[in-house]
Amino acid sequence: MNSKKHNQEKKCECFVVMPIGGKRNDTNKTFDEIYRYLIKTTVEGKNLRCVRADESSTPGSIIEDIRTHLANSAIVIADITGQNPNVLYEVGFRHGAKGRTILLAQNMADVPFDLREHRVVIYDVTSPKGYHEAKKAIESHLEELLEGTQLKM
């Protein structure tokens, strides 16, 4: 693969960080559904490749894969709901890389003080209206970023 084609592929990637893990508990199951039915469908609807760390089956270090995606993806979407330590670490890493980032949370109480100056999509997927509003907000942020307007992150 030539480097120009490789760079074009990186530009079309949206990496998603959010609580993941053992799918047996209801919280992780809910986040998985938010990812599959809200985030991934919205991102792919904008002709971006949507990637989450647990979808990769390549050998090697998952942590190194996450760092690579955080450093190289055109856009990162981070769901900081619940203030998951791993997610907050990954947001900090992305912040240091100065990349385009969309923050999501289910309520403002989930947004730590140091991130409150940034735009955050507050979402509620407990109703069809809430789902629709969240989808529209994510689409709007993606469109801004794709047009070259960066959200500060």
Go through the domains of the chain in sequence order and give each one's CATH number: 12-146 (3.40.50.450)
- pTM for this structure? 0.85
- 129 contacts: CB under 8 Å, gap ≥ 6: none
pLDDT, tens only, 34-77:
999 999 999 999 999 999 998 887 888 889 999 999 999 999 99
User: Which phi-psi region, left, alpha or beta, contains residue 21 (left: φ > 0; alpha: ψ -120 to 50)?
Assistant: left
Alpha carbon distance 126, 45 (integer Å):
22
Question: Which are the contacts of 54, defined by CB distance < 8 A and separation ≥ 6?
Answer: 20
Per the model's pLDDT, the better-predicted residue between 3 and 103 turns out to be: 103
Q: What is the tens place of the pLDDT at every residue in 1-24?
A: 444 444 444 448 999 999 986 555
